Amino acid sequence: MVKSAIRKVGMAVLAPAMALGATVGLASAPASAAVWSTCDQYGSTNLNGYTLYNNIWGSGAGSQCMWANSGTGWGVWATHPNTGGIKSYANSTKSINKSIDSLGWLTSNYDVSVPSSGAYNTSYDIWDNHHQYEIMLWVNYNGSVGPIGTYQANVTLGGHNWNVYKGTNGSNQVFSFLRTTDSNSGTVDVKPVLNWIAYTKGWMPGNEVIGDVQFGYEITSSSGGLNFNTNNLTVSGG
């Protein structure tokens, strides 16, 4: 899997003119989704302290629309072809801006409804504020997808059991935690994960500032059109 930090920071990506410029009707979105919606490639908005970002960043992408009732309740309809490579990472972002060693706690609750077909992962994407380190927490995944890097360990942290991988995408270090069984709802205690990376493994400094905590759907394929619903997502730290 090839990834790029570009999608997280909103920089322009050259992509085919294809359906990215097309407008797909929001018939797939709930009728109650009246607060905000977009089919724009990099459409975004701020709601209730969260930034929502449609973020169609990969080459060969199809069409994708994002809707929101609130910053914590939103969803995506996507139709991406059955080809390799990540096409998008629609997400909700919460800014933390505290160092690991000064964070007293960092937790998140998630509740999602995801399709049984397609190729994707439902994941947290956690960044330091210089985009040198990326921490991914995959709570579920389907189809031909996989993490960057090589297997490191199996650990139980933050209330979940994970298989851990470590590698680089050419721009930053990537630490991927893949839940050993799929989960559509739960609570993640992120602070012990950060402590394990920084203090147990020494892979990043303890004084590194955690900038953004993102949560969303990294979609490789969703042929025919698939819905990804975030029924509830909250991130808080202090």
Is residue 38 assigned to a domain?
yes
Chain-centre distance of CA 167, in angstroms?
18
Residue 1 falls within a domain, yes or no?
Answer: no
pLDDT at 30: 53
Domain for residue 103, yes or no?
Answer: yes
- Position 39 scores a pLDDT of 97
Q: How far is CA 30 from CA 66, 169, 180, in A?
A: 11, 36, 31
Per residue in 110-164, pLDDT tens? 999 999 999 999 999 999 999 999 999 999 999 999 999 999 999 999 999 999 9
Instruction: Confirm whether 178 is domain-assigned.
Output: yes
Q: Residue 130: is it exposed, middle or buried by C-beta count within 10 angstroms (0-12/13-18/19+)?
A: exposed
Residue 12 has a pLDDT of 30
pLDDT tens by residue, 185-194: 999 999 999 9
Which has the higher per-residue pLDDT, 236 or 11? 236
- Domain-located, residue 97: yes
pLDDT at 13 over 50: no
pLDDT tens-digit series, residues 50-85 = 999 999 999 999 999 999 999 999 999 999 999 999
- Confidence label for 29 from pLDDT (cuts 50, 70 and 90): low
Q: What is the mean pLDDT of the chain?
A: 89
The structural domain count of the chain equals 1
User: Tell me, what CATH number does 222's domain have?
Assistant: 2.60.120.180
Q: Is residue 79 part of a domain?
A: yes
pLDDT at position 17 = 30
Domain that holds residue 196: 6-237
In a domain, 43, yes or no: yes
